[in-house]
Amino acid sequence: MKTASYDIPKVGLGTYGLLGPEGTEAILAAIEMGYRHLDTAQSYDTEIPVGNAIDSCGLLREDLFVTTKITPENFTNLRSSLRQSCDNLKVDNVDLALIHWPAHYDKIPVSDYIGELARAQSEGLTRLIGVSNFTRKHLQAVDAEIGAGKLATNQFECHAYLQNRILVDYCRQSDLQVTAYMPLAAGKLANDPTLQVIADRIDAQASQVALAFLLTQGHVVIPKSANPDRMASNLAAASIALSTADIALIKELDRNDRIVDPEWGPDWD
């Protein structure tokens, strides 16, 4: 049975690249300015910096929403790897555990590992489960193996230049939350003329307009930054209102500009 919207905070902090003590300081700064959703992954090597920030921030555990992602290399020891992730993060369990990618080249079927993720949830290692970079085909395989409605989110690259409408529509029809990673298209959107015109009119920044657009679509966004000013700007995007005309203009920016596309990745929708 689903819980209402799975209570995933709509703006989170992506932590890729926030390594070591400097990474911990950046994450602490984000928490202090109001971030409550921290997104890490086994392959980022940021679980320990995130854990150190969680441990020293002074907040109660239940005040933070912590996501990690299980790398395909750990499919054969999925639950034990998640236990190690919890140790790294200095928590008893995470709020959300994702499969980071389908198996490389799809050499291992979804049915071989998704059940282990569901078992990790039943054992209390994670409150919610989800996937990342899954196509419609992979999502259908999940439903066939563990039943429909078990996933909290599908996290994938999504931004104004790559709106991923086919997959987004499928997720909506499946009542599956979309989490947009790389929502600023690796900084490209900060200089987009259309976004800047809108931003100038509403006294905002183009990057904020880019995030606000995704939020109006009902997506969760997890922009990454180590810069306090940029972190604050990203967080404030949640309060920006866009008009119907603004949204229509931004929809026209879609150009299928995919940034993250490893050779071993899935055949995208």
Is 6 annotated in the active site? no
Query: Residue 125: its pLDDT value, please?
Result: 98
- Give the chain's count of helices (H) and strands (E): 10, 8
- Which listed residue (44, 113, 170, 181) is catalytic? 44
The candidate with the shortest Cα–Cα distance to 49, out of 74, 76, 70, 68, is 68
pTM of the model: 0.96
Q: Do residues 251 and 163 lie in contact, with contact meaning Cβ atoms separated by under 8 Å?
A: yes
Q: Do residues 98 and 68 lie in contact, with contact meaning Cβ atoms separated by under 8 Å?
A: yes
Query: Rounded to an integer, what distance in angstroms lies between the CA atom of residue 18 and that of residue 30?
Result: 12
Token representation of residue 252: 């026209």
H helix intervals, the chain:
20-32, 47-56, 78-89, 114-122, 136-146, 165-173, 193-202, 206-216, 228-236, 244-251
Q: Do residues 70 and 108 lie in contact, with contact meaning Cβ atoms separated by under 8 Å?
A: no
pLDDT in tens, the chain (269 residues): 233 346 899 999 999 999 999 999 999 999 999 999 999 999 999 999 999 999 999 999 999 999 999 999 999 999 999 999 999 999 999 999 999 999 999 999 999 999 999 999 999 999 999 999 999 999 999 999 999 999 999 999 999 999 999 999 999 999 999 999 999 999 999 999 999 999 999 999 999 999 999 999 999 999 999 999 999 999 999 999 999 999 999 999 999 999 999 999 999 99
Torsion on CA atoms 161, 135, 222, 242, rounded to nearest 10: 50
Q: Do residues 183 and 221 lie in contact, with contact meaning Cβ atoms separated by under 8 Å?
A: yes
Query: Residue 7: its pLDDT value, please?
Result: 87
Query: Rounded to an integer, what distance in angstroms lies between the CA atom of residue 90 and that of residue 1?
Result: 28
Q: Which CATH class is domain 4-187+219-227?
A: alpha beta
Query: Residue 6: its pLDDT value, please?
Result: 60
